[in-house]
Amino acid sequence: MNKISLSIIVSVLLLLSCTKEENSNAISKPSFTSLPSALIEEEIVIDGQNFEQGKLQVFFDNEESYINYLTDKKIKVKVPRSIERYNPTVRIVDLKTNENILEETFILKKPVIKGYDKQEISFQEVLVIQGENFDKDRDFVKVSINGESASVIRASHNEVEVYIPTALAKSNLVVELTAQFQKVVSEESLKLTKPIITNVPDDFWAGQELVLEGSGFNPDGKFTSILVDGKESSIFSGVTHTIRSSYPSGPYKDFFINEVVYKMADYEIILNGNWEIKNDGIIVDYEPGYITHPPIVHNNKAYAYFWKNEGLYDTKVALYEFTPDSQEWEEVPGSSYLGYINNVVYNNDGFLYAYKNPDDSSRILIRINLNTLEEELIPLPFSDNRQATFMLHFQEKLYVLNGEAVDDNYNLYDVEEDWRFDEITSTWSELVDGTMSGHFANRETGYWGGFLHEGALYMNYNNTSHRLNPNLSLDTLDNEIYMVYQNTLITSNGSRGGFRDFEADYTVSGVEHNLGFARELRHFFQLNNEIYFRKGQSTYKLKKEILDEIL
């Protein structure tokens, strides 16, 4: 064979060898045919061909998933827990070429709610949500009911157990579940169990504990309410079968409760009855401000001046009216002003005297006709800057006693002139004998006012009760006189409270009450044969039957 023929044969053999190698490389290049859907931490099989051990890496987004099993046609990997979305991109990297042989979107299976273990659910009961494609790790399952987060107790791929939230405003419940990074809203029917009240206490004590027993209650008082005759009760603890709250302190119109209402979500449980309030006194109104004198009674109505702060620096004073029908203090139109009220007295014949300090620092005396509520200015015979004075009305005369004033240098000095206004002649006269001013020389007057009984004026002055007799002599009394009721003087029965007949022998016991200490009760007045009094900044009605023992 010559050299040329040999060379041709070698060239042909080399060409065939290269072609075979190229065909071999083309056949062995890996590829894939399918990418299934799955759940987090579930193993999936990626089908393909020409897979080689140690030559591939699998990623879900940037999270590598280690290959658990590999043949030339299958790759088994687990969906990593660390992915952050339901549709990560799966990449299979050929480590020989550092190229992606697969770059496709992977979709997690979507959760499906198929139903519940019950059709009605109460608080602190376990609700089992049934379905598929949830998650076996409860930390990766979120459930909300009517938009409020529910507490997940246990989770699997087919069931999720939760406690329903307490902040529910509707009884029809809509469940939303998030798993596999996907939210689904259930169309299955679920309802909050209607609460039942099985027991209400027989004894009602205003301001004290109220316990309702039953089932299906919301244990969180922030999302439920109890109304007693329309007044909201303060709830301080609860479980599904017992709610502890307090009876509202008031205001009430009488000593009976007619309705108790329990509200939860859009449920309203109404109980009707006729429960007696056991307190010896009930609040009928919360007062509109502060008062410095006893209410004045005329024509079956009570009147009083109240004051309260107006803004940062001003004080508003107004006359209020209280009627037995409304049992509320209502402002008399046109009576308000900025300033102070110094003294208020009643002449027991339809006229009220008010010594006022308007905001311009002057002082005026007005007389109000309580039949018409018209005001009349009474000229003063003394300096209009007189203050801390003591005023009373007795035997058709108004007395202005003691006090102090400010001189031109703004120094306080004691006022020595005492005056008496005669209502019949409408004239002032200066007192010279000092009898009345000597009775009331102490300007720490406590509270003013009083009532007439058998020609004498009973009053409380300097925190002590006194009796001004028709001859203008003054007696100091041992006990505070509250009122005259059915022609009996009612006084306190010791400092710890109670009532007794002032004129009865001390060996005769009085009657106890649950109204508080004697010093807390003030300003008794009567309308329509009902007895009212003041305690703190509230007006009370007395259960007058407790006085029957001493009348």
504 in the same domain as 451: yes
393 in the same domain as 459: yes
Instruction: Report the amino acid identity of residue 466.
Output: H
Torsion of CA 195, 196, 202, 203, to 10 degrees: -10
Residue 448 has pLDDT above 60, yes or no: no
Question: What is the pLDDT, as a whole number, of residue 103?
Answer: 92
Is 337 contained in some domain? Answer: yes
Vertex 450: Cα angle to 446 and 453 (nearest 5): 145
525 in the same domain as 410: yes
- Main-chain dihedrals φ then ψ at residue 375, nearest 5 degrees: -100, 145
322 in the same domain as 270: no
Residue 449 has pLDDT above 70, yes or no: no
322 in the same domain as 223: no
Residue 64 sits in a domain of what CATH number? Answer: 2.60.40.10
Least confident of 122-136, 318-332, 497-511: 497-511
**Band of pLDDT at residue 360, cut at 50, 70 and 90:** low
Is 11 contained in some domain? Answer: no
Q: What is the mean pLDDT of residues 84-99?
A: 94
Q: Which range is most confident: 43-52, 119-128, 508-517? A: 119-128
pLDDT (tens digit per residue) in 241-251: 999 999 999 99
Q: What is the mean pLDDT of residues 159-180?
A: 97
- The C-alpha atoms of residue 434 and residue 438 are separated, in whole angstroms, by 6
Q: Which of 296, 327, 314, 311 is nearest to 538 (CA)?
A: 327
Residue 396 has pLDDT above 70, yes or no: yes
Residue 494 sits in a domain of what CATH number? Answer: 2.120.10
Is 4 contained in some domain? Answer: no
169 in the same domain as 216: no
Q: Which ranges in 247-344 belong to alpha helices (H)?
A: none
Is 65 contained in some domain? Answer: yes
Strands 191-192 and 196-199 turn out to be unpaired
Is 14 contained in some domain? Answer: no
Domain boundary among 278, 313, 336: 278
- The C-alpha atoms of residue 396 and residue 213 are separated, in whole angstroms, by 62
What is the pTM assigned to this prediction? 0.80
Instruction: Report the amino acid identity of residue 509.
Output: S
Question: What is the pLDDT, as a whole number, of residue 24?
Answer: 44
Question: What is the pLDDT, as a whole number, of residue 443?
Answer: 56
Question: What does the DSSP 8-state code read for residue 195?
Answer: P
**Band of pLDDT at residue 492, cut at 50, 70 and 90:** confident
In terms of C-beta density within 10 A (0-12 exposed, 13-18 middle, 19 or more buried), how is residue 468 classed? buried
Beta strands in 347-495 (DSSP E): 351-358, 364-369, 374-378, 390-394, 397-401, 404-406, 412-414, 418-422, 427-431, 450-453, 456-461, 464-468, 474-476, 481-485, 488-492
- Main-chain dihedrals φ then ψ at residue 549, nearest 5 degrees: -65, -25
Is 7 contained in some domain? Answer: no
Residue 421 has pLDDT above 60, yes or no: yes
Question: What is the pLDDT, as a whole number, of residue 25?
Answer: 45
What is the domain extent for residue 349?
Answer: 282-550
- The C-alpha atoms of residue 276 and residue 190 are separated, in whole angstroms, by 40
Domain boundary among 142, 170, 192: 192
388 in the same domain as 499: yes
Is 10 contained in some domain? Answer: no
Count, in order, helices (H) and strands (E) of the chain.
2, 50
209 in the same domain as 168: no
Measured in Å, how far apart are the chain's first and last C-alpha atoms? Answer: 157
Is 440 contained in some domain? Answer: yes
127 in the same domain as 73: no
- The C-alpha atoms of residue 253 and residue 541 are separated, in whole angstroms, by 9
Total count of domains within the chain:
4
